[in-house]
Amino acid sequence: MALSIVRDLCTACGDCEPVCPTQSITPFKGVYKIEADTCTECEEEFDVPQCLDVCMEDDCIVTA
């Protein structure tokens, strides 16, 4: 399972990139994207997905 970033809602603030424990978030075409192959939904490390927790934009990060 993985989360994904809705590119039309992402403001490219970059806040999610450093909090990802699997380094799955990278700049992509002016916004950010989540690498589905490595995103774990933070299940091993945290109670909640860290990118979702930090992102200020409603509905920007969703279940892929």
Cβ of residue 61: shortest distance to ligand SF4, in angstroms?
Answer: 6
Cβ of residue 15: shortest distance to ligand SF4, in angstroms?
Answer: 4
Q: Which of residues 5-64 bind ligand SF4 (CB under 6 A)?
A: 5, 10-16, 19-22, 24-25, 32, 34, 39-42, 49-51, 54-55, 57, 60-61
The residues, any chain, with a CB within 8 Å of residue 32's CB and separated by 6 or more, are: 5, 10, 12, 14, 16, 17, 25, 26
The residues, any chain, with a CB within 8 Å of residue 31's CB and separated by 6 or more, are: 5, 7, 10, 11, 12
Q: Using CB under 6 A as the criterion, which residues of the chain lie in contact with ligand SF4 when the complex forms? A: 3, 5, 10-16, 19-22, 24-25, 32, 34, 39-42, 49-51, 54-55, 57, 60-61
